[in-house]
């Protein structure tokens, strides 16, 4: 998805989190190396963050307040779509493939939306 749409303005940020049964216990450098070799990612990763509960990063608290339960990550690979205007558009669960029609159409709509001056 990122390779297909990055030249049109799509940015993907991976957010490592160790809140899901300790799946990402390593350092940020170890997580980055693993993701690059195991999943062949070439998009940026943030620092390791909490995404749930009282210790969640403020972005995730805002997402939950804005979109409700769909924005609450149930597991790794949860996806949030943010428009060019900084507003949340949609949340997609971890079982939704990034190439799923509902994600592709939402991304295409977001990329074609007019930007404010």
Residue 96, pLDDT score: 96
pLDDT, tens digit, 9 for 90 and up, residues 29-66: 999 999 999 989 999 999 999 999 999 999 999 999 99
What pLDDT sits at residue 58? 98
Position 116 confidence tier, pLDDT thresholds 50, 70, 90:
low
Residue range 11-34, pLDDT digits in tens: 999 999 999 999 899 999 999 999
Cβ–Cβ under 8 Å, residues 74 and 93: yes
Mean pLDDT of the residues in the chain: 94
Could you tell me if 42 and 2 are in contact, meaning their C-beta atoms sit under 8 angstroms apart?
A: yes
- Per CATH, the number for 2-112 is 3.40.30.10
> What DSSP string runs through 47-109?
-----SSTTS-HHHHHHHHHH-GGGS--STT-EEEE-TTS-EEEEE-TTS-TTSHHHHHHHHH
Tell me 39's DSSP state. S
pLDDT given at position 115: 72
pTM of the model: 0.90
Every domain of the chain and the residues it spans:
2-112
Distance separating alpha carbons of residues 32 and 14, to the nearest angstrom: 10
Which has the closest alpha carbon to 102: 90, 114, 85?
90
């Amino acid at each position: 998805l990122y390779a297909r749409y990055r030249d049109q303005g799509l940015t993907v940020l991976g957010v490592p989190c160790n809140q899901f049964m300790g799946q990402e216990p390593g350092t940020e450098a170890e997580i980055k190396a693993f993701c690059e070799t195991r999943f062949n990612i070439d998009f940026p990763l943030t620092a390791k963050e909490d995404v749930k509960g009282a210790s969640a990063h403020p972005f995730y608290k805002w997402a939950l307040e804005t979109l409700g339960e769909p924005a609450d990550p149930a597991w790794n690979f949860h996806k949030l779509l943010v428009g060019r205007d900084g507003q949340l558009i949609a949340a997609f669960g971890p079982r939704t493939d990034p190439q799923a029609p509902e994600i592709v159409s939402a991304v295409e709509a977001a990329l074609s939306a007019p930007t404010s001056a």
